[in-house]
Structure 1
């Protein structure tokens, strides 16, 4: 029995791309959204979040990935947009995407899904029953051939608890309650807890108006700036297919060398106790400067609270503390689904390729957006949705249950050994290429080299743009090649507001970063061939 109707839970980025891919495959999707508008965590609210079960934006947020790496594979950002997008502006791109593909008519707003469970005839049909309440009305039920859960990782905030915290007389909040420093941190002593992106943002933002801001990190972090080598957006410089043929130790060395050319991590008290690629990272352009001028002070982890302050694990303390911001992330929760399908917490989560529960009898259930990556998330979610819907349609297959479980265990062990804790985390390029290969959308080097060598050069030596997954395969996009070829013009069009003399690379239309990588690879090949001969 084939899939025709699909229920999608949530209309954030992962829900919207799932909705769009369902329409591409000819399904009849319905998207259930408990809020009154689409966008998920990208819906900006000036008032503090009242619930613990969704993420939220703060005013100073800027996307960590550049626009051409963030956008969906067949819907580029406008040429006039800046290379990096402010958080509050990203929703405008999402709205344009929804309008362009006419998605909104398939969304049911103010509809709170209570349960997703197997239908009474599941063993035969593979169908799912959705229990929901619209706008506070009585609970109703509908049955669908397949379901995609898109509630994601940013559901329940993770609030750390330390000894003595209950007696602390200052204010404590999570970063998803944080909006802006003005009116909150003016003239106050602030402590931000965490070592990743939101911790850096909150520390920098509060330090501009606070008396003093302290940043507490148990293990430190690695700070990456948005501007990478050669003045390019960092993700466009490093997220390239060719880079993954370079040994990890060399990539690590190059990354650390570039970091230290901008920020001395030791002198500023930022450096992680774990090596690069195995630790927390923080994308932040200002944290180093704020530490250098004394506005931010780095501290170790918290040992315990006092009535008016905290004592850190190194024995130092801060008194007269007014505000504590926990930028400590979120816990995975999907209470609408049984734990044996989507568990509470990453530790026990079983999802093949982070999408499919392996122990279900029918391949009619998928989870999209339950992952983290270093770089843009939206194209990763899109590729997950494309793979899931191709499986629903029968155009892509899954391996036997034992093979899927073995793959899940292998990936879990790898993450545990690398990070010392369970994580659903990976570099975007090998993962997206893997999923694209399963649906026939992965670009192939040698055929492309013969038919279109210039495009091959851009695809395999240049940034691994989302457009590359629309060059071939199902639902390819005629504009993909032009988007790849014009990427440097569209990246910097908005910033070239003053005419300057062009460099040699610009005159010849060359990607200097790609040429450097190519020279390194050619040198390495020559060296090894000389040894063999």
Structure 2
């Protein structure tokens, strides 16, 4: 969705569930501190300040910190000698609202995260020239998946995750080859040193087109700045630069919390399951949404919030140490990217605690139509509403009809479709895939023991059923 639509969705959600009366707008949280009887009560004193300066202290049984990690712009000016004498204008991407004021300018964008890529593309439509400076490059993926479907619904099934876990090197190689078939990252000056799944990729449909047309020129890291000239590490110089935009990420801080409550473990916070500070006598404070992954954050934050309302203190510290070790081996854990997790395993681990993880084998036996879509289709939040606390009676129907809602925005010009053929092919696919999967379960063989050809066919099933009606 475009961001105005996402904002509209959140407002409609709050309106539907009558939440506005509980929200204090234009209110700053000054401090959150434990009450003197905290070991017994687990309660918190929250001091707030309204825009007009009025302060108030209220007592709460529990607190959820949902500020996220894009709160403090990271502007590493010491890494760019001469920036203080720069004759043009410079600012952090946090301040960027639109390309207004960049008409006819020469612009350097520093950093190739999602913000850097978006700003370079947006500015290139009006600027005289845009230069995109990157130290390490990045893998660039499209929002548009196979067949024009939303990219975040493709390759996100439980079966996809299983195959990736069994054959990580092969899947990584196939993904990188697929991306380079679209455009060669090395040719475009974007080839990164890290492998695809080691770091969040750049989501951008337009960047390759802006590079090939010359509107965006990819450059290495900046060595120094002299007046209005920018010198890059390869010795090239761009003169008469008007604007430098630093898309250099964010730092995170929680100044309203007690000092030492959220301690660091390496580059990440010491949080049990990325949610609970393990040092509290009572687990009545949770950090929600302080996480990132290869996919949407909303379902993860929702699951965290659901779990946080029910969790009690457990053996957290040991789990934090084990989780930290796993993350450092699994991902390229950088100072400002310490939050990455595996989407489905992380969701399932919390869903298990909640008692809402879908019973896959039971679904395949009782309701194969739903079970196969849970296994082979995109892992949507409906799956965690099939059973347990927060169960929703409409979850099954929502899973069965989710592709109809995916297709709906495209139906601005309808043409006759061979419905009977679609239904017939869907039934055949369901039957064949169900036979293969149930045979696998009944014979108690893991996918790793299957012949490579059969495994490839099973792995290809999601591509086939993306078109299910």
Q: Is the 8 A contact 1:220 1:270 kept in 2?
A: yes
Identify if the C-alpha distance between structure 1 residues 509 and 159 changes in structure 2 by more than 3 Å, giving closer, same or farther.
farther
Deviation at 1:194, TM superposition (A): 1.2
Q: 1:185 aligns with which of 75, 92, 102?
A: 102
Which residue is equivalent to 1:173?
A: 91
Matched residues in 2 for 1:313 and 1:516: separation? 56
Q: Does 1:220 align with 2:140?
A: no
- Counterparts of 1:512 and 1:490, CA distance in 2: 23
What is residue 322 of structure 1 aligned with on the other side?
242
Q: Secondary structure at the match of 2:140?
A: strand
Are 2:83 and 2:225, in contact at CA under 8 Å, matched by a contact in 1?
yes
SS at match of 1:431: helix
Which one of the candidate residues 419, 438, 453 is aligned to 2:368?
453
Q: What residue in structure 1 maps to residue 314 of structure 2?
A: 399
CA positional deviation for 1:516: 11
Pairing partner for 1:302 from 222, 231, 240: 222
3-state SS of 1:277 partner: helix
Q: 2:158 aligns with which of 223, 241, 254?
A: 241
**In 2, are the aligned partners of 1:333 and 1:343 still within 8 Å (CA)?**
no
2:284 equivalent in structure 1: 364
Deviating above 6 A after TM superposition, structure 1's stretches of 4 or more consecutive aligned residues are: 511-524
CA RMSD of aligned residues (A): 2.7
With over 3 angstroms needed to count, the CA separation of the structure-2 counterparts of 1:282 and 1:528, relative to structure 1, is closer
**Alpha-carbon offset, residue 524 of structure 1:** 6.3
Shift of 1:239: 1.2
Whether the aligned pair in 2 keeps the contact of 1:192 and 1:202 (CA below 8 Å) is yes
Q: Gaps (5+ residues) in structure 2?
A: 441-446, 455-469
Q: Does 1:429 align with 2:344?
A: yes
CA distance in 2, matches of 1:136, 1:470: 43
Change (3 A) 1:286 1:402: closer
Q: CA deviation at 1:345?
A: 9.9
Aligned to 1:30: none
The size of the alignment, in residue pairs, is 439
Larger displacement relative to structure 2 (106-115 or 468-477)? 106-115
Relative to structure 1, is the Cα distance of residues 427 and 398 closer, same or farther in structure 2, using a 3 angstrom cutoff? same
Ranked by relative contact order (alpha carbons within 8 Å, sequence separation 6 or more), the top structure is 1
* Structure 1 unmatched ranges of 5 or more: 1-84, 392-396
**Preserved contact between residue 135 and residue 221 of structure 2 (Cα < 8 Å):** yes
| Distance verdict in 2 for CA 1:431–1:373, change over 3 Å | same
Choose from 122, 127, 130 the match for 1:205. 122
- Residue pairs, 1:99-138, within 5 angstroms: 99-138=15-54
TM-score (norm 1): 0.77
Structure 2 counterpart of 1:254? 174
Deviations 1:63-87 (A, max 9, x none): xxxxxxxxxxxxxxxxxxxxxx111
Residue pairs, 1:266-415, within 5 angstroms: 266-343=186-263, 347=267, 349-391=269-311, 397-414=312-329
Is this contact kept in 2: 1:332–1:344, CA < 8 A?
Answer: no
- What residue in structure 2 maps to residue 473 of structure 1? 388
Higher helix share: 2
Report the Cα distance in structure 2 between the residues aligned to 1:236 and 1:385, rounded to whole angstroms.
23
**SS state of the match for residue 409, structure 2?**
coil
CA shift in 2, pair 1:409/1:524, >3 Å = closer
Q: TM-score, normalised by structure 2?
A: 0.87
- For the 8 Å contact 1:331–1:345, the answer to whether it is kept is no
